[in-house]
Structure 1
Amino acid sequence: PVPALNSTIELFVNRLDSVESVLPYEYTAFDFCSEKTMKRPSENLGQVLFGERIEPSPYKFEFKKPVVCQKVCTRTYDTNNPSDKAKLDFLKKGMLLNYQHHWIVDNMPVTWCYDVEDGQKFCNPGFPIGCYVTEAGRPKDACVVNSNFNEKDAFYIFNHVDITIYYHIVEHEQLGARLVAAKIEPKSYDNPNNDSPCTGGPKFLKNKHTGVFNIPYTYSINFVEDKNIRWASRWDYILESMPHTNIQWFSIMNSLVIVLFLSGMVAMIMLRTLHKDIARYNQMDSVEDAQEEFGWKLVHGDVFRPPRKGMLLSVFLGSGTQIFIMTFVTLFFACLGFLSPANRGALMTCAVVLWVLLGTPAGYVAARLYKSFGGEKWKTNVLLTAFLCPGVVFADFFVMNLILWGEGSSAAMPFGTLVAILALWFCISVPLTFIGAYFGFKKAGIEHPVRTNQIPRQIPEQSFYTKPFPGIVMGGILPFGCIFIQLFFILNSIWSHQMYYMFGFLFLVFIILVITCSEATILLCYFHLCAEDYHWQWRSFLTSGFTAVYFLVYAIHYFFSKLQITGLASTILYFGYTMIMALIFFLFTGTIGFFACFWFVTKIYSVVKVD
């Protein structure tokens, strides 16, 4: 027998956001019907950093008990009252910028599906609070959906929702039934008679309205049994909100094939050319009448000469190693399904915790390389490793947070969380960096396969393509080519509030990015050494690190071509957060390039016999 199904379903509300503004706001900021008595669910660090604010709502349902036009509350505004006028103006601003509700039932986003061109259905994990019809009578955003929204210079308020909850009965279990999907349809009713809600035409507010204005909020709930949706795949209906899914798979596969082909070509050229070089050099050394050396063998006495600004390079490489390991482990766990969108905030929490715990490898790598560069200021090195790059990121983040505080946005981090992040940095990450640096300095310096000459060799005049800047600019093109498709979807998930779920492909692109950065940098390093230019350390770092500059240019293009963001605060926030991402990406790709070249240079000079 099926167990008795009699339980209350709670609906939670999240922050409201818009594609036309970077500033999210809490549900209560718009003066909707709210639940004051219930306790808010606890949020993890990732949710707080992303500005999620989940709160209980007055929308509560009994399972399998349909309700038609249940009144929730009525909000009354008097434009002669400054407080009421401010609330009404804020609500109008929200409708003008197309702010969206985000509701949650049983940890599932409630989706709004509507018809678009070609008979297709588009599903959105949010629904608008209202919409605006211009003075010229042109409907904006959601007003296009309803032909009855025809009043000029008016705001139409979605004050009623039809909620449909899909479930399936679970046999032989104590659970009774499971909820597998939740969909919503926003509507607008004027409700001229309080005794019979959900009547009359659409509820609209004239832009220049004066006097008293009432907004009654109502809902209807319906339950539908669906035996086709399995519990394990209940989040799949959210993917209906991804209209370009097929294009995504094709584009990513296309990108991967091109990158793999190019990587194969680079590897083949390198192996064949190097094999011939090494065979020729070794053959020359075996001949009694030694011929004059040429090409990259000429600079064997200078190739391991310490670079200029070795301190800064070692600090960047330490921070880059920390970011590289953090990214690899986070994406690996995401591939296994531990950090799926269903587990809210888990991805960001995992990344921050890993970064904090990876202070030891950062300190170790920075110290070991600095020592191999002949550096002796170990205190400065360890302090810069612990504070320089994290400090720049934190300063940028703090300024962005001040702007969010000033705008009253829900994305503004509470003071307590800010203190907690500083505590994680100073009390865990910094001591671990010191420990890593201690072991790095304690170990002997890295042994090189060839001795460094006392007098530096003069570098001959270089042709255009072997000069530093053109090489660095060319080096970033190939790695960027393998990520820009994924980059589009990642930026969409951040700024257009779409759900990102393709972590398997992202991990694959990550691996290919590492391979491509390595091969492109090694190839250019080889050309420079053949041209007798032995300054490869900084160049290898900057060659693959220049991918971050292409990322920045693409982010600027994305801002002006894809987004409809308006307002100075939103623009500053977009570019402020983009600079943080670009810096992290610069350190990450630059570190890959340096270590690939370091391995390559060490290998070729240890294989060839050097007098």
Structure 2
Amino acid sequence: MKPIISGQSWRWFPWLLLVSICHSFYIPGYSVISYEDKEPIPLLVNKIFSDHTQLQYAYFDLPFVCPPTGQKHGNSPFGSGHSVSLNLGEILRGDRIMTSDYELVMKQDVGCRALCTREVSRADVKWGRQLIKDGYVAEWIVDNLPAATSFVTVDRSRKYYSSGFKLGYQDFSPSDGQSRFYIHNHFTIVIRWRKAPGKAGDEGKSVIVGFEVYPKSIGYENRDEEGCPIDVHAENSHLELFIAPNNSKLEELYSDSSYIPQRGEDANDGAKLEIPYTYSVYFREESSIEWSNRWDLFFTDQVDSSMTHWLAIINSLTISGVLGVTVIVIWGRTVHGNAKGRGDTTLEEGKNKSRSKSPSKEDTERGEGLLSQKDDEAHHLSDEDLEDVAGWKLVHADIFRLPAHSGLLAPLVGSGTQLLFVAAGLLILSCLGVLNPSFRGGFVTVGFGLFVFAGLFSGYFSGRLYKTLGGQNWRKNTILTASLFPGLTFCLIFVLNLFVWAQASSTALPFGTLVGLVALWLLVQVPLVYIGSWFGYVRAEPWQHPTKTSSIPRQIPRQPWYLRGVNGIILTGLVPFAVLFIELLFVFKNLWQDKSGYYYVFGFLSVVSTILIVTVSEVTIIATYNQLCAENYHWWWQSFLTGGSSAFWVFAYCIWYYMFKLHISGFVSSLLFFSYSFLACAVYGLLTGTVGFLTAYAFIRRIYSAVKKD
């Protein structure tokens, strides 16, 4: 057994080497943009987002920010407010990138410049206060870098970035104990640059390696004629987002009541609040940061947690290794045991003959000798051999009996292979550095493209399995394969989109995007599924089964409690979940809690995902073997559900994460969280369920082929 364990250890060495190389590797961009001195630099505004809600809003949709004037700045052919072309991933993540009126010129500092003075109503003030209370932050973009809020560690040894900057802040008045909300109306923009690499640097050009924004709330006092504060860096009064109530109208409106509205409550009297917006620009040389490493400051927390990632891998390898030893033992008792000629098949045939044929008189007379001979054979059989004889080999005539609802199994397996191809492609491209934070929305865009292309694999596996199961109407199976998973997913997204539309959020997909998605589905993916299904059903041969199926189904004995119903399925799902849950902490943190962060440690995620697939296969083999030993031949759906059973625990983890880690408020945000969590778990369950089914299918064909040869 020692050589086997040693081989298992060496099998994981290339993956661990891959992690050590690529867990912090990424391509920061596809082209270096260098700027000459005094060359205009466009500043783009995107959206606002919060960790407390799933609703995002376009920056220029806010009623209390400076609207675009439409003027052209620098050498830009477009005026401010022009929408930048977005890829599919950017649209799906709620981006709405537009040009702005902020003027940045390379290496030219600006002490203060007035942008506009915006008048806002009471309703706008109320909404602004709510956005500040929910912790919304704004996202700007310069040279494909998001605006960052700069922080330093406690020991002041390192600096790190958090994407975006807050719209304002909330404070409590010590006099009345009420909340006061202050809006940030002055922005100090710091552009960090260094000499451009290569020939461009020799020509005196520079590249941008940092984009920081320091927001500040400044009141009306001590301003010059243009509206700029006389001293931006001094301790100025702050601008409260508040309109004093009109007491005369309030007393008139509430004359018959002892209740009088307090601060911040609506009073439709046409009152306005003026908010002056200004900004400063400073260029600072930063020679310690290379252009290729300019994203590193966003990833400081993930580098610090690398030890936790390694612990996750060690935990996963331990679980997978223990299960691997169990699978090796099972494999030795089945395939290799038959190869040694233990005589189990002969004994089984003898048992079947003795059950179906009554003893003759001559046999009775010779019974004593036969009994002693059989007793002698049984004496040499171990308990494990007898268990095998009474277990999985007895159902050889029923093992490939068609399952119930076989017409649904083929489309699900086809969709699962499609998702497996997409997941593998995304992880490989991410580890190679192609998909990275600088490729904004690239993960979703490339994933959708891979999903459409993988319709070929979906149709092929679905069509071939459908033919193996004896299906006749392959075109019907093709339509079901092409429409089942994508159709249900689109319906769910469309219904959720109605709720988001009602909130006027940029998270809502535009109608044109929905039409484009439907066109890609019907005009591209469906034909690809049809082509793959034609090859899988018409051109390819069905998978051959090593044993024949009897005409009369065998009666299944009463099953142990851990194999009954959903008990065994739910219990087996705990093992793959134990492999995955540590890495889920980081994935969930970046998806739901820290939307301003970027997840890039795909090397760790790839290794954990690979170990997860191996673990799912091992768990399915063990569960299927135990099921067959209990003389239960209904393994088709059972193996699929066993493989995907960990999705149940992942969804339970989502519920726990919502209750104890997130601070999401509002019905729509909660609906989005649970709906998208359910969709993600369904995708995960479909993928791992397909892995479990294909593993069990290959395992069963192999062991019964060995029995037939013996």
Say yes or no: TM over 0.5. yes
Q: 3-state SS of the aligned residue for 2:600?
A: coil
2:582 aligned residue: 485
Map 1:340-489 → 2, pairs under 5 A:
340-442=436-538, 443-489=540-586
1:56 aligned residue: 99
2:282 aligned residue: 222
Looking at structure 1, the residues matched to 488 and 632 of structure 2 have their Cα atoms a distance apart, in angstroms, of 33
1:284 aligns with 2:380: no
Decide whether aligned partners of structure 1 residues 106 and 74 sit closer, same or farther in structure 2, where only a CA change above 3 A counts: same
Structure-1-length-normalised TM-score: 0.91
Return the offset for 1:508: 1.4
Q: Which amino acid aligns with 2:343?
A: M
Give RMSD over aligned pairs.
2.3
Q: Is the 8 A contact 1:303 1:534 kept in 2?
A: yes
Q: Pick from 405, 424, 433: which aligns with 1:309?
A: 405
Q: 3-state SS of the aligned residue for 2:149?
A: strand
Return the offset for 1:317: 0.5
Q: Is the 8 A contact 1:33 1:72 kept in 2?
A: yes
Q: Is the 8 A contact 1:30 1:90 kept in 2?
A: no
Looking at structure 1, the residues matched to 403 and 578 of structure 2 have their Cα atoms a distance apart, in angstroms, of 30
1:585 aligns with 2:628: no
Looking at structure 2, the residues matched to 109 and 368 of structure 1 have their Cα atoms a distance apart, in angstroms, of 48
Decide whether aligned partners of structure 1 residues 494 and 175 sit closer, same or farther in structure 2, where only a CA change above 3 A counts: farther
Bigger drift between 379-388 and 337-346 goes to: 379-388
Return the offset for 1:277: 4.1
Q: Which amino acid aligns with 2:278?
A: T
Q: 3-state SS of the aligned residue for 2:343?
A: helix
Map 1:231-380 → 2, pairs under 5 A:
231-240=291-300, 242=301, 245-247=303-305, 249-278=306-335, 280-281=337-338, 282-284=341-343, 292=351, 293-380=389-476
Return the offset for 1:73: 1.1
2:240 aligned residue: 204
Q: Is the 8 A contact 2:431 2:603 kept in 1?
A: yes
Decide whether aligned partners of structure 1 residues 347 and 287 sit closer, same or farther in structure 2, where only a CA change above 3 A counts: closer
Q: Is the 8 A contact 2:461 2:536 kept in 1?
A: yes
Return the offset for 1:341: 0.9
Return the offset for 1:157: 0.9
2:187 aligned residue: 161
- Which of the pair has more CA radius of gyration? 2
Return the offset for 1:123: 3.3
Q: Is the 8 A contact 1:133 1:151 kept in 2?
A: no
1:94 aligned residue: 131
Q: Pick from 100, 110, 122: which aligns with 1:85?
A: 122
1:34 aligns with 2:71: no
Looking at structure 1, the residues matched to 556 and 696 of structure 2 have their Cα atoms a distance apart, in angstroms, of 20
Q: Which amino acid aligns with 1:85?
A: R
Q: Unaligned stretches of 5+ in structure 2?
A: 1-33, 71-78, 243-262, 352-388
Return the offset for 1:266: 1.5
Decide whether aligned partners of structure 1 residues 289 and 339 sit closer, same or farther in structure 2, where only a CA change above 3 A counts: closer
Q: Is the 8 A contact 1:113 1:183 kept in 2?
A: yes
Q: Is the 8 A contact 2:462 2:533 kept in 1?
A: yes
Q: Pick from 45, 48, 52: which aligns with 1:20?
A: 52
Looking at structure 2, the residues matched to 331 and 543 of structure 1 have their Cα atoms a distance apart, in angstroms, of 24
Identity percentage of aligned residues = 36
Structure-2-length-normalised TM-score: 0.79
Looking at structure 2, the residues matched to 273 and 28 of structure 1 have their Cα atoms a distance apart, in angstroms, of 64
Looking at structure 1, the residues matched to 637 and 707 of structure 2 have their Cα atoms a distance apart, in angstroms, of 24
Task: Kindly tell me the number of residue pairs found equivalent between the two proteins.
Answer: 589
1:69 aligned residue: 112
Bigger drift between 261-270 and 14-23 goes to: 261-270
Looking at structure 1, the residues matched to 337 and 294 of structure 2 have their Cα atoms a distance apart, in angstroms, of 63
Return the offset for 1:413: 0.9
- Which deviations, in whole Å up to 9, do the C-alpha atoms of 1:3-29 show, x marking residues without a partner? 962211221111100111110000012
Map 1:451-600 → 2, pairs under 5 A:
451-496=548-593, 497=595, 498-600=597-699
Return the offset for 1:229: 0.8
Decide whether aligned partners of structure 1 residues 521 and 136 sit closer, same or farther in structure 2, where only a CA change above 3 A counts: farther
Bigger drift between 506-515 and 318-327 goes to: 506-515
Decide whether aligned partners of structure 1 residues 289 and 29 sit closer, same or farther in structure 2, where only a CA change above 3 A counts: closer
Bigger drift between 359-368 and 587-596 goes to: 359-368
Looking at structure 1, the residues matched to 344 and 222 of structure 2 have their Cα atoms a distance apart, in angstroms, of 102
2:145 aligned residue: 108
Q: Which amino acid aligns with 2:192?
A: Y
Q: Is the 8 A contact 2:312 2:583 kept in 1?
A: no
Decide whether aligned partners of structure 1 residues 401 and 598 sit closer, same or farther in structure 2, where only a CA change above 3 A counts: same
Decide whether aligned partners of structure 1 residues 560 and 121 sit closer, same or farther in structure 2, where only a CA change above 3 A counts: farther
